[in-house]
Chains A and B, each alone.
Chain A
Amino acid sequence: MINLRKITVIYRKEMLDLLRDKRTVITSIVIPIILYPLLMVGFSSLAMRQETKLEKQVVHVYLVDHVKSETSVRIIGGISAIDNLEFMPFSDSIDVLLRENLIQAAVQISDSLNASGFPVIIVTISYNETEDLSVQAYDRISNRLRELEDELVSERLKDLMIEVDILDAVQIKKENIAPPEQMVGFMVGKILPYLLIVITLSSGAVVASDLVAGEKERGTLETILVSAARRIELVIGKYLTIITFSLISVFMNLFSMFLSIRHILGQSGLDTGGIQLPISNFALILAAMLPLVTLIAAVLLSLSTYARNIKEAQSYQMPIIIGGMMLSMISLLPGFKLTAGFALIPVVNFSLLFKEIMSGNFQILSFSLVLGSTLILDIIAIIISMNLFRNESILFRTAEDKSLKFWGQSRKNVLSPEVAFLFFLIMIVLLFYVGGSWQAKEMMSGLVRTQLILILLPTIFLLRIARMNIRATLKLNPTNPLNFLMVVLMAVPMITLVVLLGQFINMIYPVSESYMEGMRNLLSTEQAGIWKSLLIIAVLPGICEETMFRGYIINAFRKYGFWAAAVISGVLFGIFHLDFFRLIPASILGIYLGYLLLKSNSLLIPMFAHFINNSIALLLSNYHEKIKILDYLMTGDEFVWWIGIPALIIFLVFLKLYTRINRNPDLN
């Protein structure tokens, strides 16, 4: 089917074409070669030169001797013997002189007696920490004073006929068991993953935007599509080209970095015989880079295929590059380990894997988990780019095509998905900044204000200015009283399932103790009392959040069908909680609430269900100790998964009943 020879022809042509492009060659080959030597070697030798320069500079010191004893004279003599140090006879305020860097240090000698009655010379050295030379002066003077102190102490001991060695009661020996190469690996390992991922992204992005979006822009795409090459061959040829350039770039960077580090280590005077750079680790990382590079290449190729021109491709790449940079920064943070959960998150997994490889303690299991999950994503991304390449409306999207200008087109219709989504984005930003600061000030009143002012009010306001009939839009319709009973009956199995799901997620992505603490505090009735807590945690969200999500947002997605509306609004509801650990449980709750609304056609039902759900959560977390089985479920270390089976069955039975009750909502 696929003609390998043609792929080779395409690949060779793309390579030749790109190698003649100065921009590409500079970013992926020239910059790495000169960047690291310049950055590392240049910087370190500059720092060293600066250091020696400082040592040779004359420091001016102001000196006051309040003691004028034999010892103080000896001390002054010792200080004045320091190279490049001059005493200055100033009479102005010492602080002013130091601040203006006219003198670098002021030494005042006074005396006192210590607790045992021996005379002590007190030398106060005033200096300016913000001036390098002043810090130098302090170091030089204090070092000399320490030598003088040793001399004086040994003289005193001699007078008392005591050996100096008596002072050595405890000797601290520092022994770092980490082998030197592991130390180097540890330090390099922190920064390396970040660098490699950024390099792969940025060099791949330059090549990818040229390969498809560039062909669209220059009008060569049609020429190549009418040739005898198949589209799949074109995609693979271009895909391999991006991979090659990314790998060249990664290799050049690693190689250049390796030489630079070795050069620095050699220069720093360390025993380089002992410190071996872990070259095998560099090789291992290069091998592990392959799946990551292919994944990034496939994603970039998809974006480039979708874009109409290079500029558009670059603006699509921007979020990917920034997101990748942020995710890869995890290796710079202390305390993160490669767990099974992290191994499944793209980019983060590589960042942590490289860190482990470089510090020499990685496990084969996590290694293969990272590679495996990446390869699966990789295949998905390639299939997406292939489909984009087959999609004629995307391939022939031209500059005058207005398909992306939907923001301007349908702004009038407040119930359109675009407006609802934009509204959601604005709300989530408000929630994060404004709501967050309110809640940081005072939790409970902050929550009340968030619910009323940030969630309920804007939703009503939006519908008002769009001149919508609020009651009809929000579906504040009367409903069958049986529905309320069904919601109560469904609540218990539902919350059991959610708790189990939460436990399951906790097993994959362990939640930190401080997070649990925060959750417990939020759900604790101790501070506000049970009724006030119920009002804030259960009643208000039931009214306000439901008005926004099941009153407004879900209606905007109705045109995509029943389930799409329930799932989209539910997931948005999950995201709205701004909490990674609650994303999935909250999304499922959101889908359930959406289902309730769409079946009953009355907002009262999801409002009531939301209230019941939050109430049960609140009551459970406060009173679970009193009911044995609940306590076992909630605090037991064991994951009682089998409880989920009867819970699911009971839930589905009631859901079926609910559906039957509301078979024809208009008649209710």
Chain B
Amino acid sequence: MIEVKELTKKFPQKEKEELLAVNNLSFTAHKGEIVVLLGVNGAGKTTTMRMLSTVLQPSSGTATIENHDIIRSPQQVRANLGFLSGDTGLYGRLTAREIIFYFGRLYDVKDAAISSRIQELSELLDMSAFLDKKIDLLSTGMKQKVSIARSIIHDPPVMIFDEPTAGLDILTARNIVNFIHNCKAQQKCVLFSTHIMREAERIADRIVMIHDGKLLAEGTWQDFQDETGLKDLDDIFIRFAQSSQPEVQND
């Protein structure tokens, strides 16, 4: 379970200016639920997810992952978390198996457990053909499968996906979507970020809309439709964004 509480991140800019990338953001995501973080580019999705994965320190506020605080116990947070983004790279000179082993060991998984988990994942993701090939020789789709396996090798209760389908072809993207549903079936808590409305519509149990670092709306697609009387998620988003605009100006 993820609980985000008044999370704020400021980036220092030149001449003492500050960029408020995430502004007092709060939401939760529960076990066995897929929550989509929806927002346009630059809305603060990646910054939020980087704070949740303890790579960035929040300026104020905090969050917990499986009740571990991201500021006080980052170690436990990362141990309970799988993180996958569209552009995380892999080590080109290592084989798929070596990389998965490397991360498994970093997560303190026993070698025997890693081996059997690789077996299991390679059947699930259909990757036995290229397990022992060097990453440099693999196609984008194959690499993405290795990345998925890498992110879930320690069987974490919480999965965070930061625009994992960005730049992928339909078939590869489909792999990811299937995998996310699989995570849900295993009662994992999934947080998924995207700027593509259609994707959110298709996959989300609940949608958290953010704009300019702030929470715009939170609920199911159905809730949004009922509230706005609009059908299309694009329109709904634009309506929310526009209605928040005067507030922004008042700040």
Contacts and interface: CB of A to CB of B under 8 A. Distances in A.
Contacts of B168: none
Contact of B79 (A222, A223, A228): A228
Contact of B154 (A218, A219, A228): A228
Contact of A219 (B11, B87, B150): B87
A223 B53 CA distance: 10
A403 B12 CA distance: 11
B55 A393 contact: no
Interface in A369-409: 392-393, 396, 403, 409
A21 interface: yes
B88 A227 contact: no
A222 B55 contact: yes
B220 interface: no
Contacts of A220: 88-91
Nearest to B134: A20
Interface in A621-638: none
B21 to A, nearest CB: 12
Interface residues of B, number: 33
Contacts of B98: 13, 16
Nearest to B89: A219
A227 B91 contact: no
B100 to A, nearest CB: 12
Contacts of B89: 215, 218-220, 223
B62 interface: no
Contacts of A516: none
B81 A226 contact: yes
B108 interface: yes
- Could you say which of A16, A218, A228 has the most chain B C-beta atoms within 10 Å of its C-beta? A228
B105 interface: yes
A226 B78 contact: yes
B144 interface: no
A553 interface: no
B236 interface: no
A196 to B, nearest CB: 29
A6 interface: yes
Given A17-B91, A226-B81, A228-B154, A10 B106 contact: yes
A14 to B, nearest CB: 10
Contact of B78 (A17, A228, A403): A228
A659 to B, nearest CB: 30
A227 B80 CA distance: 10
Given A13-B94, A393-B12, A222 B107 contact: no
Interface in B85-139: 85, 87-94, 98, 102-103, 105-108
A229 interface: yes
Contacts of A223: 83, 88-90, 147, 150
Contacts of B78: 226-228
A9 B162 CA distance: 27
A417 B243 CA distance: 45
B57 interface: yes
A136 B91 CA distance: 62
B186 interface: no
B11 to A, nearest CB: 8
Contacts of A225: 53, 55
6 contacts: A9-B105, A218-B89, A220-B90, A226-B55, A228-B78, A230-B75
Given A215-B89, A222-B88, A228-B75, 16 more contacts: A6-B106, A9-B102, A16-B98, A17-B94, A20-B94, A218-B89, A219-B87, A219-B89, A220-B88, A223-B150, A226-B55, A226-B83, A227-B106, A228-B78, A228-B107, A228-B108
Interface of A: 6, 9-10, 13, 16-17, 20-21, 215, 218-220, 222-223, 225-230, 392-393, 396, 403, 409
Interface of B: 11-12, 14, 50, 53-57, 75, 78-79, 81, 83, 85, 87-94, 98, 102-103, 105-108, 147, 150, 154
In the A-B complex, the 5 residue pairs with the closest CB atoms? A219-B89, A226-B83, A20-B93, A220-B89, A223-B88
